[in-house]
A and B are shown apart, each in its own frame.
Chain A
Amino acid sequence: MADIFVNKAPKELAVIPFYATAAVFFLLLSLLLCFSARELTGHYFNPHILAIVHTAALGWGTMIIFGAAYQLLPVICEQELFSTRLAFLSYLLLTAGSIGLIVCFWIFDTGWAMIVSGSAVVLSSYLYAFNIYKTANDTNRSQIHQNFLLISAFWLCFTTTVGLLLTINLSYNFIPRNHLDILKLHAHAGIAGWFLQLICGVGAKLIPMFLLGKSKRNWLLHTALILQNLGLIAFLADGYFNPMHVRMYFYALLVFLGTLCWLLYIIDAYRHRARKKADTLMRHTLISLVAQGLAFGVIPIMLSNHQTKWTALYGTLIFLGWITGIILGKTFKTLPFIVWNKRYKNLNGTAKIPMPKHLYNENLIQYQYYAYIGTIVLTCLGIVVDHRLTIQTAAILWIVIALVYGYNVFRIVFHQNKSFLKGDEACVI
């Protein structure tokens, strides 16, 4: 009936700043890649690589995921977002913390500035988790997508907290374990806990929605959630007390099988879709999934071969392949709607108004897609053959992609109302 949820779209302030800032961080990421192309295949514990990874993980990936989650959670939970103010505060803290951390890593200033920046990121993640928990907790409906979001928020808090402890450990050595071993745990809590489970939860909701597809095999999602968490917890517990061991293959396999279950759910929804032709934005998602599969494939090579380039390839497939791929596609499936809702909701039916897809340049999406495929392939190739010029060329192409993407994002964000009264009498509101 009519009292069932309809109007739960979040306020712009809880979403748009994240998208806009993430686009700037994406450009920064590609610039940093360009400046450090020759260091990319070296050891990951390098100031510039640490700065690049945190730009990708915090400024780019986490920033946009916060915005998308604040937009999507009310839709999933059929509840308004608990607090827009807290959402905006988490934005301010994440932005300030990310900038501080990136600068501190780049110049490798391990003092108070790094600790304060890390604390801002931790606080931001706690605010996010609290907001998500309070929003999800207000509803009687419990969906598997909700559980993915809540558990991923826990892993985010875990990751940022361990990260903060690691930054303190750089100045005041207090962790009784090897710093680099704990760094691996920190990284994988972020990758398999935060990013993987968040993307699985959101993807399981959005991908079928965009394909007009359905899957009744919800048990696959439940299995995915259990296996991914089992694998991750076992990895963290074992990894804390023991050095890297052959058992790590088994934990990675558990996470892989969990992700495979999620993929089977998506394939089932794809098979039962009404919309036969996938658009360019959905094809971005496909490339992202291929990169994710390849990243899993690199794990055994990375564990058995200690050449640093395999770790670089793994990180590239994760951040520039899987996470970037899904963001490049999904941005234009989500951001235009919130802007359109604000600008045109009340004019619907009364005037000729643009549709959400008219808020950005669709032709550029095509170029972005092909440039993205070429660039990710070139980057991986450059890393595998350890060829500096190839990596440098790819880094320049990343700048082009970031500019194209940023242009479209800001075109949406700064969109001015345009409408025409019925009868073609021009009227700009």
Chain B
Amino acid sequence: MEIKLNNPYAQEELKAQVALMQVIDPELNVNIVDLGLVYGVDFSTEGQIIVRMTLSTPHCPMGDAIEQGVLNVLRQTFPDRTPSIQLVWEPEWNFNMISEAGKEQLNLL
């Protein structure tokens, strides 16, 4: 998840990133930001938050739990906005998208 500081919503995006780090992929036991599953968070539509994200596999049995987690934390953090998820498969998620912290937690280093 890349945050541009010149973006007018950079502060909200940072807040959203911290919130999304509370959402854990139960299968891998690592938060979804460090896993690289979150591609972006859009605050440009008034009263809404659109999370553009993917899953480690389209067959992920934990997909529903992860989506629920995303909605839960965003509702808590931004009570005046309605969160929604745009699930995408392009670009396809791969191991290189995992942050250094995530790799360390997964013993990939």
> B-facing mask of A1-23, CB < 8 A → 1, else 0?
11011111100000000000000
Is A216 on the interface with B (CB-CB < 8 A)? Answer: no
Residues of A within 8 A of B76 (CB): 349-350
Task: State in angstroms the CA–CA spacing of A23 and B67 once bound together.
Answer: 33
> B-facing mask of A60-76, CB < 8 A → 1, else 0?
00000000000100011
Closest to B19 in A: A349
Is A178 on the interface with B (CB-CB < 8 A)? Answer: no
> A-facing mask of B61-77, CB < 8 A → 1, else 0?
11111111110110010
Task: State in angstroms the CA–CA spacing of A350 and B76 once bound together.
Answer: 8
Task: State in angstroms the CA–CA spacing of A4 and B67 once bound together.
Answer: 13
Nearest chain B CB to A63's CB is how many angstroms away?
Answer: 21
Set B58, B61, B106: member contacting A9, Cβ < 8 A:
B61
Nearest chain B CB to A147's CB is how many angstroms away?
Answer: 16
Is B47 on the interface with A (CB-CB < 8 A)? Answer: no
List residues 1-58 of chain A with CB under 8 A from any CB of chain B.
1-2, 4-9
Are A344 and B65 closer than 8 Å at their CB atoms?
A: yes
Are B23 and A348 closer than 8 Å at their CB atoms?
A: yes
Residues of A within 8 A of B67 (CB): 6-7
Are A212 and B95 closer than 8 Å at their CB atoms?
A: yes
List residues 346-371 of chain A with CB under 8 A from any CB of chain B.
346-350, 355-357
Is B107 on the interface with A (CB-CB < 8 A)? Answer: yes
Residues of A within 8 A of B108 (CB): 212, 274-276
Instruction: State the B residues within 8 Å of A (CB).
Output: 19, 22-24, 26-27, 29, 55, 57-70, 72-73, 76, 85-89, 95, 106-108
**Which 6 A-B pairs give the minimum distances between C-beta atoms?**
A348-B69, A349-B69, A6-B63, A7-B64, A349-B73, A349-B72
* Given A5-B59, A6-B55, A349-B24, 10 extra CB contacts under 8 A: A2-B86, A6-B64, A78-B58, A212-B106, A345-B65, A346-B72, A347-B72, A349-B68, A350-B76, A356-B27
